[in-house]
A and B are shown apart, each in its own frame.
Chain A
Amino acid sequence: MLAQQLINGITLGGIYAVVALGYTMVFGVLDIINMAHGEVVMFGAFAGMLLASGLGAPLWAVFAGAVIAAGALGYLLELLSLRPLRRRRVTAKLAPLISTIGVSILLENVALKLFGPGNHPFKTPLSDMKFSLAGVDIYLVQMVILGISLMLAAALYLWLYRTKEGLSLRAVAEDSEIASILGVNIDRAITITVVTASMAGGAAGVLIGMAYSNVSTQMGVSIGLKGLAIIIFGGMGSVGGAVAGGLILGLAETLIAAYWDSGYRDAAAFFIITLVLLVRPQGLFGRDAAAMRH
């Protein structure tokens, strides 16, 4: 029973981690919370759903389609809702935040119009395949979800900390003016960040579709709140914090639902956040509070 719940929890945590990575990357570089990220995840999930359930496409094509659709959406988000604010030298952090809230509302309603209300089944060839290991049922889907989550997190980490591109993004994250005099094209760096974060979001959308076997146009809101909770918990802008925070939240939710009351499941996230903010306000992996920017 416990082993079963741990596997379920880690699977859910892996998904949360990938969602949180999208938030943490954008926060790291732009210093804003992208409130439209949950809806980008949702669009990725629907692109994947259309390919998987509608066309019966193979899994790699489902991921590719979702990643491309979400990446394109991220590009439009930067081009139409973030860049114009930078051009006008709007310095208030609130402006881009509100801009992304507007985009999130727009996207949710466009999705409702396009796809209709309610749950849409997400079928993959793997959906019902499972095997038993020492009395524990493991769905193939769970292995795929876990494998892809860990791969994405590792790839993002290596990209940020082992490549020249990642080096420049970290420089922009700390001080974009200094990065620019060292030769970094800031608009390009921000575009790369938002598009990459959105692509990870598209992959997360497919993982969610696979995990729950259905998707809905409202899924962006709840997944967005979880993602936000995780980066507050793990430390804003921290890659390790997003992964650890995602896994801890996934496990906590699953264990609470299994051993206590499934009604308290969603409370887990906010209970953990409250606790963390009381004890360690900068988050698990965050920089110390004095160094945190506003």
Chain B
Amino acid sequence: MVELTADGVEAGYGHVQALRGVSVSVSTHGIVSVLGANGAGKTTLLKAIAGLVEPSSGKILYRGIDITKERPDRIVRHGIALVPEGRGILTRMTVLDNLRMGAYCRSDGNINGDIEEMFNRFPILRERQGRYAGTLSGGQRQMLSIARALMSRPSLLLLDEPSMGLAPKAASAVFAMICEIHARGTAVLLVEQNAVQALKISAYAYVLESGAGVLQGSAEDLLKDRAIQKSYL
């Protein structure tokens, strides 16, 4: 089932046009990746979907609902959670408070149960629950950031460069975690510079260059593609 479609999205900061008509589609069948060099517009695309950047034109539909001009706090309530670039954890709050903030948009009674589940999936977070999140290592911060996003019980998870700055072992753990999240039924849109690892776990991928889509196809095809291998792999 198609979860999200972005159609001809243009967006920018002031006079800088970061996206020049980008279209992507994300379904529950398989992880979708967006690849590209620094400054290609990958982060802006995720910010536009999450509501942090307002597109100047184009349309973003989530399960048929137009969310193009929605505020970020409303979009997360539709079921879209963003794991931002650089993790975006709240360093002056405890690990536990970060997880509680992840459930801020919920009002059901299962929040403590979900925190317990996150502690089971990420045992290091249980151990560090009372510590300030700023004391965590890079890999632990990424785990916390993902766990916090899951606390909103999203049906679509947006991940912005989750492997950035991580040692290979920690990066592999993060990719394995993303696969597991997807296997449990959450649609995933993954932005990565680490193209090989991203394509290995994805079903479909888009390649952005200077704010525009230049290539798209199944991850399998892209992995074999000569041009891709030359520029990104």
Contacts and interface: CB of A to CB of B under 8 A. Distances in A.
Question: Are A and B a genuine interacting pair, yes or no?
Answer: yes
Interface of A: 164, 167-168, 170-171, 174-175, 177-186, 287
B76 A183 contact: yes
Interface residues of B, number: 26
B105 interface: yes
A180 B97 contact: no
Given A171-B104, A181-B50, 8 more contacts: A167-B104, A168-B104, A171-B93, A177-B72, A181-B75, A181-B84, A182-B73, A182-B101
Nearest to B87: A178
B63 interface: no
A180 B84 contact: no
A54 B107 CA distance: 47
B121 interface: no
Interface string B141-159: 0000000100010000000
Contacts of A183: 73, 76-77, 104-105, 152
B90 interface: yes
B84 A164 contact: no
B90 A185 contact: no
B71 A185 contact: yes
B90 A178 contact: yes
A182 B100 CA distance: 10
B46 to A, nearest CB: 10
A179 B101 contact: yes
Contacts of B89: 178
12 contacts: A171-B104, A174-B90, A174-B93, A177-B88, A179-B101, A180-B72, A180-B73, A181-B81, A181-B88, A183-B76, A183-B104, A183-B105
